[in-house]
């Protein structure tokens, strides 16, 4: 193992970023050469690979996310098992790249989120009023299950849990590992997300253009960098469901034979039901001002199955249902931009990353609704769309190593900037 003081003195470091998102479709691993730190940061992507989870693992992870099925012994076991899988991803990408563990200076691992409770008081208060009124809270007027809100009702303090034990990663690879990035921000009153906003600023801030960075994973999040703006001018938030609801409906209607809408082809063959979308857009989350964050706790399986049931009550075809949920994703993104961004900092170019960048229906509709903005895959900027979040956690690990704060209070709502993550030595 390299001495940490030696690492700090190096002009360039090789860092592996590891990420598994709310879509639970695999582990993203990126080998990144990082020069400098802070505002002097420069990155060069050496290698990237997504390693699918073994059969049955996504289902086990998703079961942990449900309050009724997430047993503490299962969580405990999966924390170490996912750590082993992350370590295997490191070994695989090293082998494919012809590199050795000794070549790598540091690992930054986001881990796998299984529960995230930001505890925003506006969300909780609105949820309580909806529960008292007997409404589910998604605007459709049906008195159905309140499961996504039942947990929020009892929150005393914000909390979050990512599994994928970093001690296992460090031991199995022999590489210093920094992980558990969200908790320091939440300890300072932040929502623990989005954390990619700081790397976004380091990589994309522009002196003449206002740049938007939209990541469409299970949840969609947007960072806005005003032209020639300071780091304190950054605005970021989750906008709502990204691929999460679409993927869940595809899995349900195909009985598990498909898990996502490849290239958005099913949505393209369907017709969105705008009246349903308008009702769903009444959900209180969409009207909360940033900073805000969300996850499966609000837009997960229960929420999606209720949307699917509503579609079937309206006798929508499968493709019409997929088109409707796809359009919901698009309109929650564009609605957020219209409500909270356009009046202050109209976005000149919107770079899109995450799985949603491959959904041609989403990309087409974003371009149509944001007619005054150039909507482009982030690849056009020279950064890989698929690798972007793994690169971000490599950068955050490097910042932590150098004692630099990695959160942005304007994005997360934290009271102060914080050094993120916990360092585990092999």
For residue 129, name the pLDDT band (cuts at 50, 70, 90).
very low
Supply the mean pLDDT for the chain.
89
Q: Which residue has the tokens 């947990």?
A: 151
Cα–Cα distance, 273 to 320 (Å, whole number): 7
Cα–Cα distance, 319 to 325 (Å, whole number): 10
What local confidence, expressed as pLDDT, does residue 153 receive?
47
User: What does the CA dihedral 137, 141, 147, 152 come to, rounded to 10 degrees?
Assistant: 20
What local confidence, expressed as pLDDT, does residue 148 receive?
40
What local confidence, expressed as pLDDT, does residue 128 receive?
31
Cα–Cα distance, 321 to 250 (Å, whole number): 10
Query: Is the predicted pLDDT of residue 146 greater than 60, yes or no?
Result: no
Secondary structure (DSSP) of 108-151: EEEEEEEEEE---HHHHHHHHHHHHHT--SSSS------HHHHH
Query: Is the predicted pLDDT of residue 134 greater than 60, yes or no?
Result: no
For residue 154, name the pLDDT band (cuts at 50, 70, 90).
low
For residue 136, name the pLDDT band (cuts at 50, 70, 90).
very low
What local confidence, expressed as pLDDT, does residue 69 receive?
67
Instruction: Work out the percent of the chain whose per-residue pLDDT is above 70.
Output: 90
**Does the pTM exceed 0.95?**
no
Query: Is the predicted pLDDT of residue 132 greater than 50, yes or no?
Result: no
Burial class (CB in 10 A: 0-12, 13-18, 19+), 136: buried
Segment 306-311 shows an average pLDDT of 96
State pLDDT tens for residues 348-391.
999 999 999 999 999 999 999 999 999 999 999 999 999 999 99
What local confidence, expressed as pLDDT, does residue 121 receive?
42
Query: Is the predicted pLDDT of residue 260 greater than 50, yes or no?
Result: yes
Burial class (CB in 10 A: 0-12, 13-18, 19+), 9: exposed
Query: Is the predicted pLDDT of residue 140 greater than 50, yes or no?
Result: no
What local confidence, expressed as pLDDT, does residue 65 receive?
84
- Are residues 153 and 127 in contact, defined by beta-carbon separation less than 8 angstroms? yes
3-state SS of 148-181 is HHHHHHCCCCCEEEEECCHHHHHHHHCCCEEECC
State pLDDT tens for residues 165-215.
999 999 999 999 999 999 999 999 999 989 999 999 999 999 999 999 999
Query: Is the predicted pLDDT of residue 322 greater than 80, yes or no?
Result: yes
What local confidence, expressed as pLDDT, does residue 19 receive?
94
For β-strands 12-20 and 106-117, DSSP reports them as parallel
Query: Is the predicted pLDDT of residue 149 greater than 50, yes or no?
Result: no
State pLDDT tens for residues 58-94.
889 888 887 776 688 999 999 999 999 999 999 999 9
CB neighbours of residue 54 within 10 Å: 11
Cα–Cα distance, 273 to 186 (Å, whole number): 38
What local confidence, expressed as pLDDT, does residue 227 receive?
96
């Amino acid at each position: 193992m390299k001495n940490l003081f030696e690492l700090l003195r190096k002009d360039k470091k090789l860092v592996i970023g590891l990420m598994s998102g709310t879509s639970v479709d695999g582990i993203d691993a990126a080998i990144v050469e990082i020069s400098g730190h802070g505002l002097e940061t420069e990155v060069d992507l050496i290698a990237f690979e997504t390693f699918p989870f073994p059969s049955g693992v996504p289902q086990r992870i998703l079961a942990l996310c449900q309050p009724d099925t997430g047993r503490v012994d299962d969580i405990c076991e999966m924390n170490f098992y996912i750590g082993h899988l992350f370590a295997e991803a490191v070994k695989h990408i090293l082998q494919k790249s012809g590199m050795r563990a000794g070549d790598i200076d540091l690992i930054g691992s986001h881990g796998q989120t299984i529960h995230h409770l930001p505890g925003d008081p506006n969300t909780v208060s609105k949820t309580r009023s909806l529960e008292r009124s007997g409404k589910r809270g998604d605007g459709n007027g049906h008195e159905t299950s309140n499961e996504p809100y039942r947990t929020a009702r009892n929150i005393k303090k914000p909390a979050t849990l990512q599994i994928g034990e970093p001690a296992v990663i460090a031991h199995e690879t022999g590489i210093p590992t920094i992980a558990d990035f969200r908790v320091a921000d939440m300890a300072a009153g932040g929502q623990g997300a989005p954390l990619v906003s700081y790397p976004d600023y380091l990589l994309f801030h522009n002196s003449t253009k206002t740049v938007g960075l939209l990541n469409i994973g299970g949840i969609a999040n947007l960072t806005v960098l005003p032209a020639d703006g300071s780091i304190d001018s950054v605005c970021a938030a989750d906008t709502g469901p990204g691929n999460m609801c679409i993927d869940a409906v595809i899995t349900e209607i195909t009985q598990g034979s498909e898990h996502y809408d490849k290239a958005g082809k099913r949505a393209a063959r369907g017709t969105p039901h705008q009246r349903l979308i308008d009702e769903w857009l009444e959900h209180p989350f969409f009207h909360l001002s940033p900073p805000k964050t969300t996850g499966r706790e609000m837009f997960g399986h229960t929420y999606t199955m209720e949307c699917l049931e509503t579609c079937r009550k309206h006798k929508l075809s499968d493709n019409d249902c997929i088109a409707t949920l796809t359009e919901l994703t698009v309109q929650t993104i564009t609605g957020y931009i219209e409500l909270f961004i356009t009046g202050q900092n109209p976005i000149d170019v919107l770079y899109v990353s995450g799985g949603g960048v491959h959904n041609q229906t989403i990309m087409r509709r974003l371009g149509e609704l944001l007619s005054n903005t150039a909507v482009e895959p982030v690849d056009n900027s020279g950064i890989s769309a698929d690798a972007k979040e793994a690169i971000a956690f490599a950068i955050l690990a490097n910042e932590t190593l150098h004692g630099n704060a990695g959160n942005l209070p304007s994005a997360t709502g934290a009271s102060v900037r914080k050094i993120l993550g916990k360092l585990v030595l092999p």
